[in-house]
Structure 1
Amino acid sequence: MSKQAFHQLIADLSAQIAGRPLDDTLDRWLNAEHGAGTPTYARLKDACIEGVAEGWLCEREGGGIRYGRPFKPEDALHRFSVDVVDMADLAGPHHMHPNGEIDLIMPIEGDATFDGRPAGWCVYPPGSAHHPTVNNGRALVLYLLPEGQIQFTRT
């Protein structure tokens, strides 16, 4: 899949979530409509795997995490940035989500979980914070950040 086709997948999805509060209701809706086992999930996971293999996703590495931001916030993506990370059995750097965060968890090896959650979506509300953690294997995680806002905590 091309980077442009991936962009269109995200644009189609972000059109459905634009303007909705980042909360438990959105979390449940995303998992019901676009969660593991759905065509949307399969297309996004395949696109991320292909993007990593082709080198336009997760092109950077630091602290044992491969990562990248293929798209900055833009109107076509309803002001979401898009990040994808590749993590295996580790905790990433602590950060806060000023406007919230929407994550798509895609296990690649083992029964990988992200922050204790299996394959599917996880929505963090505005002002939440965490150490993003993958356990029990390897996962790709796609992050949608409203306005691309993320604040890393200095340690």
Structure 2
Amino acid sequence: MDVNEFQTLVARLTGEIAGTPLDTRLEARLNADFGPGSDLYDALLAACRTGVAEGWLCSREGGGIRYGRVLKASDATHGFSVDVVDMNDLAGPHHSHPNGEIDLIMPLTPGAQFDGHPAGWCVYEPGSAHHPTVSQGRALVLYLLPQGAIHFTPAA
């Protein structure tokens, strides 16, 4: 697995959801069609584990979070950027999602959650905001941002 193969894998998903409103219906669809135990979920988890181990994913670190944007928004990813974070029992920096955010939660510690969600998909609607938080252990979280749009709240 390398970045090009990873892009091809992600594009299988983004091609399925391009143009779909980011809402609870999309979250339900992703969990039903591509949730834990599905071929795509398992392939993305394996790819992310490999990428972290090989250093082409989560190559930066700050505040106890390993992170990195692996793919910029492009036609190849149907307008989505792709970032992956590696978090262990902590909250990340507050930010908003002008166009929404789609998160794939991949616990590395059994039972680990992201913003209270177990393994699977979580969708934030356009204009939403949060402190991304992993609790009950360690998890990788892959997130898709339409047009790569994210706004970090300045520290007080």
> TM-score band (shorter)?
over 0.9
Structure 1, unaligned runs of 5 or more: none
Structure 2, unaligned runs of 5 or more: none
SS at 2:109's partner residue?
strand
| Count, aligned residues | 155
Indicate the residue corresponding to 2:31 in structure 1: 31
Asked if residue 64 in structure 1 is aligned to residue 59 in structure 2, the reply is no
CA drift at 1:102: 0.2
Matches within 5 A, 1:82-121: 82-121=82-121
Identity of aligned residues (%): 66
Indicate the residue corresponding to 2:15 in structure 1: 15
Deviations 1:57-112 (CA, angstroms, capped at 9, x unpaired) = 00000000000011100001011000000000000000000000000000002311
Bigger mean CA deviation after superposition, 2-11 or 141-150:
2-11
RMSD between aligned residues: 0.6
CA drift at 1:126: 0.0
Indicate the residue corresponding to 1:141 in structure 2: 141
Deviations 1:20-62 (CA, angstroms, capped at 9, x unpaired) = 0000000000000000111110000000000000000000000
Q: TM-score, normalised by structure 1?
A: 0.99
Matched residue type, 1:124:
Y
Separation (CA, whole Å) in 1 of partners of 2:4 and 2:98: 28
Separation (CA, whole Å) in 2 of partners of 1:73 and 1:2: 18
CA drift at 1:149: 0.3
SS at 1:40's partner residue?
helix
Matched residue type, 1:50:
T
CA drift at 1:12: 1.1
Runs of 4 or more above 3 Å deviation: none
CA drift at 1:16: 0.3
